[in-house]
Amino acid sequence: MTALSLSTPALLFPAVSLLFLAYTNRFLHLASLVRQLHRDWVERQDDCLRAQIENMRRRLALIRWMQLLGAVSILLCVVAMVAVMLEANLIGWVSFFTALLFMGASLACLILEIWCSGGALKILLDRVERD
């Protein structure tokens, strides 16, 4: 097994910071939509709003997992960098590999959340077709 250099785990840091910015923007936008849905629900309680609320619930859970998995990924990159500095090569490789797996899982949650956001639009389009 080749030695892991300090710069290898550090490569994820810029990607993670950009991803977290995107994740946070998605969360803030969704929070705004949830507040609007709440106001609409108080005024009129129809099935379309209920479907939208369920969709938002799924999307919020996915965003929470995206952020958690991304945070664990960056933490494991830090562990990998510390292991490299302490010349614990095996721990460094395992930590970095695990960090990549967690980052991949975070991105998979992002893909699912994007899919769900399309589902939210489908709910509205279905309602337009019914009316």
Q: Where are the domains of the chain?
A: 7-35+50-130
Query: What pLDDT is recorded for position 65?
Result: 94
* Cβ-proximal residues to 102 (8 Å cutoff; 6+ apart), any chain: 69, 70, 72, 73, 76
Least confident of 38-47, 65-74, 80-89, 104-113: 38-47
Residue with tokens 């960056």: 74
Each residue of 85-117: pLDDT tens digit?
898 989 999 999 999 999 999 999 999 998 888
Query: What angle, rounded to 10 degrees, do the helices at 47-85 and 12-43 form?
Result: 160
Query: What pLDDT is recorded for position 101?
Result: 96
Distance CA 85, CA 78 (A): 11
Query: What pLDDT is recorded for position 107?
Result: 93
Query: What pLDDT is recorded for position 112?
Result: 94
